[in-house]
């Protein structure tokens, strides 16, 4: 294949990768975290990989608003799948969200339309900037999402949308929670609760102090709550259903539990095993590759943690593309109920079950908890949650991206806890 005359333009590889990621999400329906790795592997410079990811994420985060600007500057609407529209999306995302100079955006954007409507793209981009139009304070939610959340959270939807405006900070869970203040000081971060340090995003995770020695792992603050609700293990046995990629498994092992980590994805379990080796907790974990709906445990457990498959809409701060997909809600809800039954059956009398989902849909969280009748509720206490958050009146944990706004926000999450009658 002959080289393009534009191949030597500095920064073009990052923009081309961002365009390919946008295409994978919008045209092929792939999750960004699935499509990005093979695309980014072709880029040599780490800074360019980070830039490509940031461009794609911001274009997806503000997609409806960027499209409104594009449509307002064109006499004839561009088709949704037109390459020129996608190139304009990433050009405007760079200028309006990442603060890159317009001349650099033009120099690395227009070559992506070689043989196409470059003059049109240049004109639309320049027209938007010339009018001084910017993006709103909060991104416009896709209408199906907005309709669901207006019904579910009528008093929260504006705050939730505002919580999606910025990429989230980097949250770390510490292997040794007793060293929280020490690590917060060493890393220049903020301790939001014992065993947790929050950092402003800065560079590659692997380059952060403590990574090589396994002192911590990346895990959103909300995602760290369910395992905390089981407390110290003291050598007792816990079943971590749907365990990969392993954040909760590592929490449980670090808290003294003997963990059976089960997941049906062999690829994700390989990542879990690598994470366990890095943090030095593999000796306390038995990894089982199996479908939770088919697997028959050989013993019953002192506790079960079920972080169930879900729509993952609560992760939209860091995965904005999740709001552009239409999940099979009915199928997910049926699977969640079946898994809850399986989890309760694996629990010894007097044992504790925690159910969690990273979804903002009540049907996947609150309605599932209401359905559980065979176990006794064990209400969550305020002192088990990050400062600034409180249990619901029912004793459940519910977080959304509009909470903890002054501290950098939090993912959407739900968790409930029960005890099996002795």
Give the Cα separation of 376 and 373 in Å (integer): 7
Q: Residues 242, 310, 316, 358: which is the catalytic one?
A: 358
Is 316 an active-site residue?
A: no
Catalytic residues: 358
């Amino acid at each position: 294949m002959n080289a393009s005359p534009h191949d030597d333009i500095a920064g073009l590889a990052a923009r081309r990768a961002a365009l390919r990621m946008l295409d994978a999400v919008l045209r092929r329906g792939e999750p960004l975290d699935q499509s990005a790795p093979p695309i980014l592997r072709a880029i040599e410079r780490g800074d360019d990989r980070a830039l490509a990811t940031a461009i794609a994420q911001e274009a997806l985060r503000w997609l409806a608003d960027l499209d409104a600007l594009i449509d307002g500057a064109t006499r004839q609407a561009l088709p949704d799948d037109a390459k020129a529209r996608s190139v304009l999306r990433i050009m405007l995302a760079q200028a309006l969200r990442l603060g890159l100079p317009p001349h650099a955006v033009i120099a690395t954007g227009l070559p992506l339309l070689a043989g196409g409507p470059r003059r049109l793209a240049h004109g639309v981009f320049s027209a938007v900037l010339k009018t001084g139009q910017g993006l709103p304070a909060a991104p416009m939610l896709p209408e199906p999402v907005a309709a669901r959340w207006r019904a579910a959270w009528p008093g929260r939807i504006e705050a939730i949308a505002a919580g999606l405006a910025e990429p989230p900070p980097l949250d770390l869970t510490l292997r040794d929670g007793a060293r929280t203040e020490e690590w917060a000081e060493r890393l220049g971060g903020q301790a939001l609760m014992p065993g947790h340090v929050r950092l402003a995003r800065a560079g590659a995770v692997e380059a952060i102090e403590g990574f090589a020695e396994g002192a911590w792992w990346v895990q959103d603050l909300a995602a760290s709550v369910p395992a905390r609700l089981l407390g110290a293990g003291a050598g007792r046995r816990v079943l971590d259903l749907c365990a990969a990629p392993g954040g909760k498994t590592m929490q449980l092992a670090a808290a003294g539990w003997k963990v059976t980590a089960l997941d049906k994805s062999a690829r994700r379990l390989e990542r879990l095993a690598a994470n366990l080796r890095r943090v030095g907790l593999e000796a306390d974990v038995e990894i089982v590759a199996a479908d939770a709906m088919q697997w028959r445990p050989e013993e019953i457990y002192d506790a079960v943690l079920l972080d169930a498959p879900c729509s993952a809409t609560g992760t939209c701060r860091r995965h904005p593309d999740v709001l552009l997909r239409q999940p099979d809600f009915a199928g997910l809800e049926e699977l969640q109920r079946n898994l809850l039954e399986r989890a309760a059956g694996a629990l010894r009398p007097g044992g504790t079950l925690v159910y969690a989902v990273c979804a903002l849909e009540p049907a996947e969280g609150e309605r599932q908890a209401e359905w559980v009748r065979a176990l006794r509720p064990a209400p969550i206490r305020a002192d088990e949650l990050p400062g600034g958050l409180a249990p619901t009146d029912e004793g459940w944990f519910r977080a959304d991206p509009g909470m903890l706004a002054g501290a950098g926000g939090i993912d959407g999450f739900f968790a409930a806890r029960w005890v099996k009658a002795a």
